[in-house]
Amino acid sequence: MKVGIIVSGGREHAICQALSKSKKVDELYCFPGNAGTALIAKNIALNVEDFNELKKFLLSNKINLIIIGPEKYLVDGIVDFLEEQNIKVFGPNKIASQLEGSKIFTKNICEKYNIPTAKFGIFENISEANKFIEKNNYPLVIKADGLAAGKGVYICNNKAEATLGIKEIFEGKFGKAKNILIEEFLEGEEMSYFIITDGKTIKNFETAQDHKRVLEGDLGKNTGGMGAYSPSRLINNELEKKILKKIIEPTIKGLKEIGTNYKGFLYAGLMIVKNEPFLIEYNVRMGDPECQTILPKLNSDLLDIILACCDEKLHETEIKWLNKKSLCVVLCSKGYPEQYKKNVLIKDIAKIKLDSDEYCYHAGTAKNEGKIYAIGGRVLNFVCLSEDFSKARTKIFDLIKLLNWDGGFFRKDIGYKVIDK
């Protein structure tokens, strides 16, 4: 089979590598790919934003399946567009993708089906929102409705911060805002819970905990993710049953009632409060770097799982996992998530020799005349499987030392809640 993947970073390199192990995959294509995917796939430079250009390439090259990684294209309706051309595509359609594309859409589903989530209000203008924050306790959480690439959420400790958040959102900092969400602050510990579904069958796709903040101790600015570990220390059978019964199943049912079948990965960002799950947000894709952390544990053929999902035969497929711990450390360009230099040579990357439990997934890298350059904020993801989180992290640090790259930095405390207790 010929399989294509729409790529944005390390998550898709991990998907690509898992697919490359499948006997059924003859050729892989990445749009546009990076220096890592270039080793196992054909990198194709075309403008994915132009769905027509992509369609032409897929049809003329007889690509049998296309996997969509990033949320933006899903929310823009790439699945509906390609399915109309009879192209097999993995990912949720435009309506289902509203679960990530509109926080208000998701909150309305939560309300209708009694899904546990933070109490909330929706406000259509500045004065209504300002009136509401007058009489509320802090902290309060203020959110833009649409996609904001991990930004657009203000945790406000006082009225001044809340007023600023409301002003910036309505002024269009995260795109045109018709309304705003204000919600109660939930005190607990976060967990990422993943499933894959064809709309009929729901299968667990593991748990993880990511570290979104740039500085050690989970401080500083939010980033795309500085590292993760899997499984989450919070998961247990009782909690998992509650997540499925109270959150995931009613959501899939709710979409069905509005005429939509959810197909693809679904990522629930949860706050766990005394072993009770609350939904913070949905993402209609795998997490990044959670995907890089989870996929090395997969002990089944990823292509079989994805095809079964596309064909609504997920019930026939068994998803097996290695009983190991996994930890991922993300290496970033100095300055990220603010300004950083681009096109910086990573000169000792060839010195990295990985054993069978070690992985190095590329994100913002490019190859030029045989050399590998950092071109993005998040550059490389080092992942290690082990029976022990601490051993996994030590092995990753040993790999990073070999790299000897002074243009980069990483957090040395990834997994501190399961290691440095």
Query: What is the C-alpha to C-alpha distance for residues 199 and 106, in angstroms, rounded to an integer?
Result: 17
Q: Is 284 in the site for ligand AMP (CB under 6 A)?
A: no
- Given 190, 218, 304, 312, the residue binding ligand AMP (CB under 6 A): 190
Instruction: Go through the chain and tell me how many residues it has.
Output: 421
- Given 92, 287, 364, 377, the residue binding ligand GLY (CB under 6 A): 287
Per CB under 6 A, contacts with ligand GLY among 224-263 are 225
**What are all long-range contacts of 209-213, with beta carbons under 8 Å and residues at least 24 apart?**
209/233, 209/234, 209/415, 209/417, 210/287, 210/289, 210/290, 211/411, 211/413, 211/414, 212/150
Q: Supply the minimum distance, in Å, between the C-beta of residue 142 and ligand AMP.
A: 10
Per CB under 6 A, contacts with ligand GLY among 207-226 are 210, 225
| Helix/strand/coil for 54 | helix
Q: Is 153 in the site for ligand AMP (CB under 6 A)?
A: yes
The 298-337 contact track toward ligand AMP, x by CB under 6 A, reads: ----------------------------------------
Per CB under 6 A, contacts with ligand AMP among 100-119 are 118
Partner in contact with 32, chosen from ligand GLY, ligand AMP, none, beta carbon below 5 to 8 Å by kind = none
DSSP state of 175: B
Stretch that binds ligand GLY, among 86-94, 285-293, 303-311, 413-421 (CB under 6 A): 285-293
My answer on whether omega of the bond before 139 falls inside 30° of 0, hence cis, is yes
Strand partners, 272: 189, 277
- Given 290, 294, 333, 379, the residue binding ligand GLY (CB under 6 A): 290
Residue nearest to ligand GLY (CB): 287
Query: What is the C-alpha to C-alpha distance for residues 227 and 340, in angstroms, rounded to an integer?
Result: 19
For tokens 């909690």, name the residue.
Answer: 239
Q: Is 186 in the site for ligand AMP (CB under 6 A)?
A: yes
Decide whether 283 or 317 has the Cβ nearer to ligand AMP.
Answer: 283
Q: Supply the minimum distance, in Å, between the C-beta of residue 206 and ligand GLY.
A: 14
170: CB partners within 8 A, 6+ apart = 125, 126, 129, 177, 180
Query: What is the C-alpha to C-alpha distance for residues 90 and 351, in angstroms, rounded to an integer?
Result: 36
Query: What is the C-alpha to C-alpha distance for residues 107 and 278, in angstroms, rounded to an integer?
Result: 12
Q: Is 180 in the site for ligand AMP (CB under 6 A)?
A: no
The residue ranges that bind ligand AMP (CB under 6 A) are: 118, 141, 153, 155, 183, 185-186, 190, 269, 280-281
The residue ranges that bind ligand GLY (CB under 6 A) are: 150, 210, 225, 283, 287-288, 290
